[in-house]
Amino acid sequence: MEHGTVVQVLEVHRDGRAVVEVDGKRQEVLEMTFVDEDIEPGDWVVVKAGFALERLTEKEVAEVLAPGHSREV
Protein backbone atom coordinates (compact mmCIF):
# COMPACT_ATOMS: atom_id res chain seq x y z
CA MET A 1 0.00 0.00 0.00
CA GLU A 2 1.24 3.48 -0.87
CA HIS A 3 1.93 5.99 1.93
CA GLY A 4 -0.55 8.85 2.30
CA THR A 5 -4.05 9.58 3.60
CA VAL A 6 -7.00 7.24 3.01
CA VAL A 7 -10.01 9.17 1.65
CA GLN A 8 -13.31 8.43 -0.09
CA VAL A 9 -13.96 9.55 -3.67
CA LEU A 10 -17.03 11.80 -4.02
CA GLU A 11 -16.85 12.73 -7.73
CA VAL A 12 -14.77 11.76 -10.75
CA HIS A 13 -14.31 14.09 -13.73
CA ARG A 14 -13.41 13.05 -17.27
CA ASP A 15 -10.28 15.21 -17.28
CA GLY A 16 -8.49 13.07 -14.67
CA ARG A 17 -9.55 15.05 -11.60
CA ALA A 18 -11.47 13.65 -8.68
CA VAL A 19 -13.11 15.23 -5.64
CA VAL A 20 -12.43 13.51 -2.31
CA GLU A 21 -13.29 14.25 1.30
CA VAL A 22 -10.32 15.06 3.55
CA ASP A 23 -11.04 15.84 7.22
CA GLY A 24 -14.64 16.72 6.35
CA LYS A 25 -13.68 19.07 3.51
CA ARG A 26 -13.95 18.54 -0.24
CA GLN A 27 -10.60 18.56 -2.03
CA GLU A 28 -9.76 18.15 -5.69
CA VAL A 29 -7.01 15.67 -6.54
CA LEU A 30 -5.51 14.26 -9.72
CA GLU A 31 -6.38 10.66 -10.50
CA MET A 32 -3.03 8.91 -10.75
CA THR A 33 -4.02 5.36 -9.87
CA PHE A 34 -1.63 2.57 -10.65
CA VAL A 35 -4.35 -0.01 -11.22
CA ASP A 36 -6.06 -1.15 -14.39
CA GLU A 37 -9.49 0.08 -13.32
CA ASP A 38 -10.70 3.66 -13.05
CA ILE A 39 -11.78 5.02 -9.69
CA GLU A 40 -15.46 5.75 -9.13
CA PRO A 41 -17.48 7.70 -6.56
CA GLY A 42 -17.59 5.68 -3.35
CA ASP A 43 -14.14 4.14 -3.85
CA TRP A 44 -11.47 4.64 -1.20
CA VAL A 45 -8.01 5.79 -2.33
CA VAL A 46 -4.66 6.75 -0.88
CA VAL A 47 -3.92 10.44 -1.53
CA LYS A 48 -0.55 12.13 -1.19
CA ALA A 49 0.49 15.59 -2.38
CA GLY A 50 -2.75 16.04 -4.33
CA PHE A 51 -2.58 12.75 -6.23
CA ALA A 52 -4.79 9.67 -5.85
CA LEU A 53 -2.09 7.01 -5.84
CA GLU A 54 -3.90 3.76 -5.21
CA ARG A 55 -7.41 2.37 -4.91
CA LEU A 56 -7.96 0.23 -1.82
CA THR A 57 -9.77 -3.07 -1.42
CA GLU A 58 -12.67 -3.43 1.02
CA LYS A 59 -10.38 -5.39 3.36
CA GLU A 60 -7.72 -2.65 3.35
CA VAL A 61 -10.37 0.03 4.05
CA ALA A 62 -11.79 -1.99 6.95
CA GLU A 63 -8.31 -2.29 8.49
CA VAL A 64 -7.56 1.42 8.15
CA LEU A 65 -10.96 2.57 9.42
CA ALA A 66 -10.96 0.18 12.40
CA PRO A 67 -11.19 1.89 15.81
CA GLY A 68 -7.81 3.07 17.04
CA HIS A 69 -6.26 3.34 13.59
CA SER A 70 -5.27 6.49 11.71
CA ARG A 71 -6.23 7.26 8.12
CA GLU A 72 -2.55 7.90 7.53
CA VAL A 73 -0.85 4.90 5.92
Decide if pLDDT at 1 tops 80.
no
Q: What is the mean pLDDT of residues 4-8?
A: 92
- Domain residue spans of the chain: 5-65
Confidence label for 73 from pLDDT (cuts 50, 70 and 90): low
d(CA 39, CA 42): 9
Please name the amino acid found at residue 2.
Answer: E
Q: pTM for this one?
A: 0.81
The architecture (CATH level 2) of 5-65 comes to Roll (2.30)
Q: 15-50 pLDDT, tens per residue? A: 888 999 988 899 999 877 555 577 899 999 999 988
Residues 6+ apart with CB under 8 A from 68: none
State the pLDDT at residue 32. Answer: 73
